[in-house]
Structure 1
Amino acid sequence: MTLNWTLDATDGTARAGTLRTAHGDVPTPVFMPVGTAGTVKAMTADAVRSTGARMVLGNTYHLMLRPGAERVARLGGLHRMMDWSGPILTDSGGFQVMSLSGLRKMDEQGVTFQSHIDGSKHRLTPEHSVEIQRLLDADVTMCLDECTPFPATEKQAAESMRLSMRWAARCREAFTPREGYGLFGIVQGGVYPDLRAESVDALTAIGFEGYAVGGLAVGEGQEMMFSVLDTTVPRLPTDKARYLMGVGTPSDLVGAVRRGIDMFDCVMPTRSGRTGRAYTRHGMLNMRNARHADDGGPIDPACTCPACARHSRAYMHHLFKAGEMLGPMLLTWHNIQYYQDLMAELGGAILAGRFEETAARIDAGWRNSEEEKAA
């Protein structure tokens, strides 16, 4: 049996379920910390595990360039290399196809690009992307797609989406089913409902173990993102996992769970941790601000991470002002803990039939934050 997802409860259109993989079961909704190059930046694997994270993300593009998928395979796979025994999802490289537009050339068969590391030329096709992810031993393999940029005309979005659908069929053909492993298709189509519907229909006709919604959080804004989800998610199969790629803020996550999304990833908590910004139940805090210099209290009294349990806001402020690497390490740990706690709280609320009440309380905590308004 390939990887599968089962529904445990619903509350409105919000869903709680279980993703079953070769490397363990994952309760959903789930947030996957981003380990682009085989590590969640500034964290050990033990630290990531301590937050309650059950699944992480790696990136095909970065790992194929360095250290190389074949080398990872020779060393026992990505799980062994990065000391992560739980499930791993690997991004196919499609986002980099978009973001590195100045270094690549696309055609029907795939994409040729220059490495951002040393300028060397590489070729990535749907088949090669699937093979790289197999060598990495990813539990969830993502189809290679072209992440449609924003803004894009309807004609541009249509051409991009249809290319991605042709690539999806080739990925399905190239993927070898294995016990506990699966392939996810990616819905594209920009901000155009008819194109999103066409993409869903094409993907479901092919058949995948899960379905991702891609091409969002690329500049369209939250209102438009939610509008796209409102018209897209109800068309997706109800018995498969739904993954919103590269999203997002706590508010984004709450709104997407409300609309029936099960899986998330985003660099925000780790990137913010490295730049002094802390996510809390009462909004965002900038630990570089002078107001924290004499504050002996924790970042978030409700948080159990080491930054909150053992240190003060004043100490965190000092670490960042002094340029000490411990500051980004502790604050990244805190932010990942916050995201994991948020997902656990939302999942528990769905199981208890209290999702809207819980979501309203979470949203209110963020709306009342003065520093978040200033940010």
Structure 2
Amino acid sequence: MSRFAFSIAATDGAARTGTITMQRGEIRTPAFMPVGTAATVKAVKPEGVRAAGADIILGNTYHLMLRPGAERVARLGGLHRFMNWDRPILTDSGGYQVMSLSDLTKVTEEGVAFKSHLDGSRHLLTPERSIEVQRLLGSDIVMQFDQLVPTTSTPKAQMEAMDRSIRWAKRSREEFDRGGDHAERAALFGIQQGALDEELRKRSADSLIEVGFDGYAVGGLAVGEGQEAMLGCLDFAPGQLPADKPRYLMGVGKPDDIVEAVCRGIDMFDCVLPTRSGRTGQAFTADGPINIRNARFAEDPEPIEADCPCPACSSYSKAYVHHLVRSGEILGAMLMTEHNLWFYQRMMAGLRDAIAGARLASHARNFLDRYRAGKAA
């Protein structure tokens, strides 16, 4: 079997549907990857994640290198065996986390020096170390190490971070290629930077294409710039990347963000939103998100969402889940998270079907009108 292959089955406008084929299985695109930051998709067993329809999940270099440690995971047979997930795993490089979670971060050309948010221990994460950690974990899709700066940064800071990310992309590529057996079965993605600037994004994309990657991510968005600005960037950024490679929008997101991004040519997504929201009492539905804690659900005998086939909706009422969540019962978080994961995967399946049937425009409009009307209510 090929190490990595991406085939496009159908297009509809800028949107595409297809398949990524890897040794551990196929990934249907557009795809949403549930986030298993610390080797677990919180509140759901791996079997439940797969039952919801996920083909791939995400793990994180920063968190796993700090606890339990990449070397320990490797000694225990790799991340797949460690967490009992036998399908593809994409690992984030840790670049975002060292900038947002750690204390006393210092960025140099070598890498990022930081103190752990867990115990204050000092570490240096470089492109080479990031790739090494991902190799030790046994990642299927490895992300280059990059530097992220807020979209509110000065143009000079944005340009410097973009240029450094290109240099780090080359070092990531070189370290990945030294990976022996791992490099022969895994894939490496580059990350486009450049904030909201079309020219910087083009320079970044062209430089990454020159290095050569299996897929390309649109990085540096969903960090507070707002939906309008993000979508404005997505009007041009995906088209700057190769049409025959997967395009991955990192850290997105909200259901309406995903639908809008698919219409603009994005193939892959990840976000903590469905799991984090589930643990805090928010459920996603076709009619917008609901807060199950609200008193109006205390005696509601209906499921979280009508016509949803998930185990939570098939067997439990809003009233019961409301009781569990208000009581702080663990089962409440489990049922809410399970429903949200099913909602996201059903949403992605609907988008794939609409693209294949050349009816994405009407499907997206109907979805967005209904979802946003419910959200505004």
With structure 2 as the length reference, what TM-score do the two structures score?
0.97
Matched with 2:219 is: 214
Question: Aligned runs of 1:138-153 on 2, under 5 Å?
Answer: 138-153=139-154
Out of 272, 277, 280, the residue aligned to residue 277 of structure 2 is: 272
In structure 2, the residue matched to 1:289 is 294
Task: State the secondary structure of the residue aligned to 1:246.
Answer: coil
Q: Deviations over 1:276-330 (max 9, x none)?
A: 0000011110000001011100111121112111001111111111111111111
Secondary structure (helix, strand or coil) at the match of 2:71 reads helix
Between the aligned partners of 2:57 and 2:241, the Cα distance in structure 1 is 24
Distance 1:161 1:4 in 2: 28
Give, in whole Å, the separation in 1 of the partners of 2:239 and 2:56: 25
Q: Does 1:94 align with 2:99?
A: no
2:63 corresponds in structure 1 to 62
Q: CA 1:178/1:209 → structure 2, altered by over 3 Å: closer, same or farther?
A: same
Q: Which amino acid aligns with 2:124?
A: R
Find the aligned partners of 1:206 and 1:4 in 2 and give their Cα distance: 18
CA distance in 2, matches of 1:194, 1:169: 21
Structure-to-structure mapping, 1:10-159, within 5 angstroms: 10-100=11-101, 102-159=103-160
Distance in 2 separating the partners of 1:101 and 1:141: 22
Instruction: List structure 1 runs of 4+ shifted beyond 4 angstroms.
Output: none
Query: Could you tell me which of 321, 329, 335 is aligned with 2:334?
Result: 329
Q: Could you give the per-residue CA deviations for residues 32-56 of structure 1, whole angstroms, max 9, x where no partner exists?
A: 0000000000111111111011100
Residue 255 of structure 2 corresponds to which residue in structure 1? 250
2:320 corresponds to 1:315: yes
Counterpart of 2:44, as a letter, is M
| 2:204 equivalent to 1:204 | no
- Mapped pair 1:303 → 2:308: yes
CA distances 1:117-143 after superposition (whole Å, capped 9, x unpaired): 111111111011111101101000000
Task: Provide the residue aligned with 1:190 in structure 2.
Answer: 195
Counterpart of 1:186, as a letter, is I
Do 2:103 and 2:117's aligned partners in 1 also have CA atoms closer than 8 Å?
no
Unpaired runs of at least 5, structure 1:
none
User: Could you list the runs of 5+ residues in structure 2 that have no partner in the other structure?
Assistant: none
Question: What residue identity is the alignment partner of 1:248?
Answer: G
**SS in structure 2 at match of 1:191:** coil
Q: Distance in 1 between matches of 2:183 and 2:147?
A: 26
The CA distance in 1 between the partners of 2:244 and 2:3, in whole Å, is 14
Q: Secondary structure, in 3 states, of the residue corresponding to 1:32?
A: strand
1:363: which partner in 2?
A: 368
How far apart, CA to CA, are the structure 2 residues paired with 1:216 and 1:367? Answer: 21
Total equivalences in the alignment: 372
Distance 2:67 2:296 in 1: 42
Shift of 1:5: 1.2
C-alpha distance in 1 between matches for 2:184 and 2:300: 52
Cα distance between partner residues in 2 of 1:270 and 1:220:
23
Give the conservation status (yes or no) of the 8 Å contact 1:97–1:147.
Answer: no
Q: Under a length normalisation based on structure 1, what TM-score does the superposition of the two structures give? A: 0.97
Displacement of 1:101: 5.8
Alignment partner of 1:351 is 2:364: no
Identify which range, 212-221 or 142-151, moves more after superposition. Answer: 142-151
Separation in 1 of the partners of 2:261 and 2:80? 29
Compute the displacement of 1:246 (Å).
Answer: 0.1
Q: Specify the code of the residue in structure 1 equivalent to 2:132.
A: E
Report what 1:240 is aligned to: 245
Partner residue, 1:164: 165
The range that moved more, 357-366 or 7-16, is 357-366
Q: CA deviation at 1:179?
A: 3.9
In 2, Cα distance between equivalents of 1:326 and 1:28: 31
The one-letter code matched in structure 2 to 1:355 is L
- Whichever residue aligns with residue 364 of structure 1, its letter is D
Question: What is the one-letter code of the residue matched to 2:192?
Answer: V
Mapped partners of 1:164, 1:36: distance in 2 = 23
Letter in 1 for 2:176: F
